[in-house]
C-alpha cells in the first residue's frame, strides 16, 4: 500500500471502537486519536465502570449532542451479543482487551482462555456481523514460540485474526494483527518495580542475561494507528524496535544498587522473539517494520505485499537484535514513563 493510499484514509468519517479502552493502551490511543486524527465517533468498550468514569473526566462524552465523538460502553469481550450492539455502525475496531499478566494467566488458565481466545473469537464474529471494515488486534512477542499460557493464548488469538479473513470471504471485513514487545508505562511493567526497589538499595533480577524488546506506549499507539491505514487483511505487522539487557535497565535506573538474582519465574524466557525462524520465509521488510504475510494468499482477496524478503534462517530475537539501547537511551525511555 503506497503513501497516497495511506493519506486517503479519512479518520473524520470513521467510527472507531477500542476494546479494553480503559487500559494503558486504550487511554493513550484515545488521547492521540482525538488530538491528531479526530474520528466521527470513538467508543471505549470495557468492563470497569469506575475506570470509565475516571476516563470520562478527561475525555467527556455528551450523549445529547455531537459536540464530542466520545462514547462509553460497559461490556466484556466474553459477551458476543454486547459486542454486536457496540459495533453497530463501526468502521474500525482495535482489539486491546486481554488478560496479560503471565503469573495471573498461569494461575487462572481457563479465565485466560475465555478472555484472550474466546474473546478474540467474539470480536471477530461481531465485527463480521456488523460489517466492520478494519479490525486489528494487539499481540505480543510472547506469542512467538510460547512457553507460557499467556503467550499461547495470544498465539491462538493471532491465528484467529489472520484466518478470520477466510470467514469474511469477499465481504467488507478485514482482520490483521500488530505484534510488539514490552511497553514502557504499561500496567505490569518492571520499571515501576525497579523505581520502588531503588529506595531500598536492592533490585531483584530474574537473570542477568535476560533481554527484552522495548517501546514506549506512544510508539505502540502510533504504530497501531499507522497499521490501521496500511492493513489489507491477514498480515501481522512487526515494528523494528530496540533491545535492552534487563541488568542494564536496572543499572541505569538505580546505579550503585545491589542487583539480586532471584531466578526465572514460571513461564519466562531468557530472550524474546518477534519473528521466528520458521515464519521468516513469509516475511517482507518494509523499512520501518516487518510484515508477516498470510500463508494462504489465495484466500485473502489477492493479497500482495511489496518489499524484500528476509534471508533464509532469519530470526528477530531480542539478544541478536541490530538495535540496542545504551544507558542514555534507557534513561530517556524511563523518563518518558
- pLDDT tens figures, 211-221: 999 999 999 99
pLDDT confidence band for 199 (50 / 70 / 90): confident
Any domain includes 125? yes
pLDDT over 60 at 9, yes or no: yes
Output the pLDDT for position 310.
86
Burial class of residue 187 (count of CB atoms within 10 Å of its CB; 0-12, 13-18, 19+): exposed
Per the domain annotation, does 39 fall within a domain? yes
Q: Report the pLDDT averaged over residues 81-107.
A: 96
**Stretch 9-22: mean pLDDT:** 96
Whether 191 is covered by a domain: the verdict is no
Largest separation between any pair of C-alpha atoms in the chain: 60
Residue 337 lies in a domain: no
Looking at the annotation, which residues are catalytic?
Answer: 142
Q: What are phi and psi of 223, to 5 degrees?
A: -60, -45
Q: Is a pLDDT exceeding 60 seen at residue 1?
A: no
Averaged over 131-136, what is the pLDDT? Answer: 98
Answer with the residue of higher pLDDT: 74 or 168.
Answer: 74
The pLDDT of residue 297 = 57
Mean pLDDT of the 113-141 span: 98
- CATH number reported for the structural domain that contains residue 10 in this entry: 3.40.50.720
- For 25, the grid coordinates are 493502551
Domain that holds residue 121: 3-180+217-240+273-316
Per-residue pLDDT band for 25 (boundaries 50, 70, 90) equals very high
Mean pLDDT taken over the chain: 90
Looking up cell 526497589, which residue turns up?
A: 197
Residue 224 lies in a domain: yes
Give the pLDDT confidence score for residue 256 in this predicted structure: 84
Q: Residue count of the chain, please give it.
A: 337
69 exposure class (CB count in 10 Å sphere: 0-12, 13-18, 19+):
buried
Q: What pLDDT was estimated at residue 262?
A: 86
- Whether 203 is in a domain gets the answer no
pLDDT classification of 252: cutoffs 50, 70, 90: confident
Query: Would residue 194 count as lying in a domain?
Result: no
Instruction: Specify if 252 maps to a domain.
Output: no
At 196 the pLDDT is: 85
Answer yes or no: is pLDDT of 245 > 60: yes
Handedness of CA 235, 103, 190, 18 (dihedral sign): positive
Neighbouring-strand partners of residue 17: 43, 93
pLDDT at 184: 82
Q: Tens digits of per-residue pLDDT, 165-180? A: 999 888 899 999 999 9
pTM above 0.75, yes or no: yes
Model confidence band, residue 3 (pLDDT cutoffs 50, 70, 90): very low
Query: What is residue 5's predicted lDDT score, i.e. its pLDDT?
Result: 45
Question: In this model, does residue 7 exceed pLDDT 70?
Answer: no
Q: Could you write out the DSSP letters of every residue in 280-307?
A: GGGEEE-SSEEEE--S-GGGSSS----S
pLDDT at 32 over 90: yes
Domain count, the chain: 1
Amino acid at each position: 500500500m503506497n503513501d497516497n493510499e495511506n493519506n486517503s484514509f479519512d479518520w473524520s468519517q470513521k467510527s472507531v471502537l477500542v476494546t479494553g479502552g480503559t487500559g494503558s493502551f486504550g487511554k493513550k490511543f484515545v488521547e492521540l486519536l482525538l488530538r491528531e486524527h479526530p474520528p466521527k465517533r470513538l467508543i471505549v468498550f470495557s468492563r470497569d465502570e469506575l475506570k470509565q468514569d475516571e476516563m470520562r473526566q478527561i475525555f467527556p462524552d455528551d450523549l445529547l449532542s455531537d459536540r464530542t465523538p466520545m462514547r462509553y460502553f460497559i461490556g466484556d469481550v466474553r459477551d458476543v451479543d454486547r459486542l454486536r450492539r457496540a459495533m453497530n455502525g463501526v468502521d474500525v475496531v482495535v482489539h486491546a482487551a486481554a488478560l496479560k499478566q503471565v503469573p495471573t494467566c498461569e494461575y487462572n488458565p481457563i479465565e485466560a482462555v475465555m478472555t484472550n481466545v474466546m474473546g478474540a473469537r467474539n470480536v471477530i464474529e461481531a465485527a463480521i456481523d456488523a460489517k466492520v471494515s478494519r479490525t486489528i488486534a494487539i499481540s505480543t512477542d510472547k506469542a512467538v514460540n510460547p512457553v507460557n499460557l499467556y503467550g499461547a493464548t495470544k498465539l491462538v488469538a493471532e491465528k484467529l485474526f489472520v484466518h478470520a479473513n477466510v470467514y469474511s470471504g469477499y465481504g467488507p471485513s478485514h482482520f490483521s494483527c500488530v505484534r510488539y514487545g514490552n511497553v514502557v508505562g504499561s500496567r505490569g511493567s518492571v520499571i515501576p518495580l525497579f523505581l520502588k526497589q531503588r529506595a531500598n538499595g536492592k533490585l531483584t533480577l530474574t537473570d542477568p542475561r535476560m533481554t527484552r524488546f522495548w517501546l514506549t506506549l506512544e510508539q505502540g499507539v502510533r504504530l497501531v494507528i499507522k497499521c490501521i491505514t496500511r492493513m489489507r487483511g491477514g498480515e501481522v505487522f512487526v515494528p523494528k524496535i530496540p533491545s535492552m539487557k534487563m541488568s542494564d535497565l536496572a543499572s541505569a535506573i538505580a546505579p550503585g544498587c545491589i542487583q539480586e538474582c532471584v531466578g526465572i519465574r514460571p513461564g519466562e524466557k531468557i530472550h524474546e522473539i518477534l519473528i521466528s525462524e520458521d515464519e521468516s520465509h513469509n516475511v517482507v521488510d518494509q523499512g520501518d517494520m516487518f510484515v508477516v504475510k498470510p500463508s494462504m494468499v489465495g484466500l485473502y482477496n489477492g493479497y500482495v505485499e511489496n518489499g524484500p524478503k528476509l534471508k533464509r534462517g532469519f530470526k528477530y530475537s531480542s539478544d541478536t537484535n541490530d538495535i540496542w539501547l545504551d544507558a542514555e537511551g534507557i534513561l530517556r525511555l524511563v523518563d518518558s514513563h
